[in-house]
Structure 1
């Protein structure tokens, strides 16, 4: 994918690709992962495509990162008991395959290879 092409997450935000959306507001969208690594596995994506990974987000817009963590907590309370893992893969070597910053909200018993995408 070239940098000028929208990511799969941008295409979900734009409703070009269907997803099981569990949360949405002006800043974020969250949907169930298509290849879950835990009983509850939700992908939380900022609607901006400006940041490729969490390190870029943290240095470029720490307030948006703080809001993302708060949204993850809200979602975890809505879909489970509020206890969760929030996983950010940063770089291809760490398992990141979509270079539009996103976090994996996971709850329940973890399965093998549970680092997400």
Structure 2
């Protein structure tokens, strides 16, 4: 999967949002966005994908349709030409400190 540079720009300073990107006919979120979404929907499987830089990996979650609909019904969204920004609930971003532990248990794709 080709990961847009915008993913890294958004996720490097992400504290409170879930950013969704449409890549290869599916919705994906990466980094902290993926972590927040996995807290909100524990049934979603997180994995790590190669960023294209030798041995660098980034966590990601594929966002199914039901999840996208629930997010649009329950949370504030900002839709642009490049991504969708969803305001994550405080219960999700208060677990930010557990991000590294969450990443360690992901499978590599």
The two structures share one fold, judged by TM-score above 0.5: no
Q: TM-score if structure 1 supplies the norm length?
A: 0.27
Higher strand share: 2
* TM-score normalised per structure 2: 0.29
